Amino acid sequence: MINGPVTIDADIIDDHPDRVSVKIDGSEVATSLPYTWDTTVASDGSHTLTVEATDKAGNVGTDSITVTVDNHPTANFSAAPISEDEPLAVSFTDHSSSVHGITSWSWNFGDGSTSGEQNPTTCTGNRAPTLSG
């Protein structure tokens, strides 16, 4: 799976190709290499990347690859106790990532309490908090 900017390049054996074409899903997006594709504006799912080289005699060489774009956010966090007394006070730090940026958080602390803060602190017992994006 890929996300963010991706460089498309190819080794062309002909020293002087007459034409180079870079296609994504059959649509030409460039006529030179390397080409950087910004997948953040692409739809999630499978895409076919194709490079075609044509020599002066009209011979065409083609190579393709299918890639999967996934621009969904990835939830990730760490927790550290800020006290050792019961109930235990815990500070959560968000390490989530997304190519589009993260604008909201939804914490569930496992006891019915929740938070929309990026880096919340809560008192907890023996529970498994979750963060969803």
Q: What is the CATH number of domain 5-69?
A: 2.60.40.10
Asked whether the predicted pLDDT for residue 75 surpasses 80, the reply is: yes
How far is residue 115's CA from residue 121's CA, in Å, rounded to a whole number?
A: 9
Contact between 131 and 116 (Cβ < 8 Å): no
- The dihedrals phi and psi of 63, each to the nearest 5 degrees, come to -140, 140
For the segment 23-32, the average pLDDT, to the nearest whole number, is 97
Tell me the pLDDT of the chain averaged across its residues.
Answer: 88
How far is residue 84's CA from residue 35's CA, in Å, rounded to a whole number?
A: 54
Strands 88-94 and 45-54: unpaired
pTM for the structure as a whole: 0.65
Interacting residues of 107 by C-beta distance below 8 A, sequence separation 6+: 92, 114, 115, 116, 117, 120, 129, 130, 131
Which tens digit of pLDDT belongs to each residue from 101-111? Answer: 888 999 988 77
- Among left, alpha and beta (phi > 0; psi -120 to 50; other), residue 45 is left
Domain with CATH 2.60.40.10 in the chain: 5-69
For the segment 19-33, the average pLDDT, to the nearest whole number, is 96
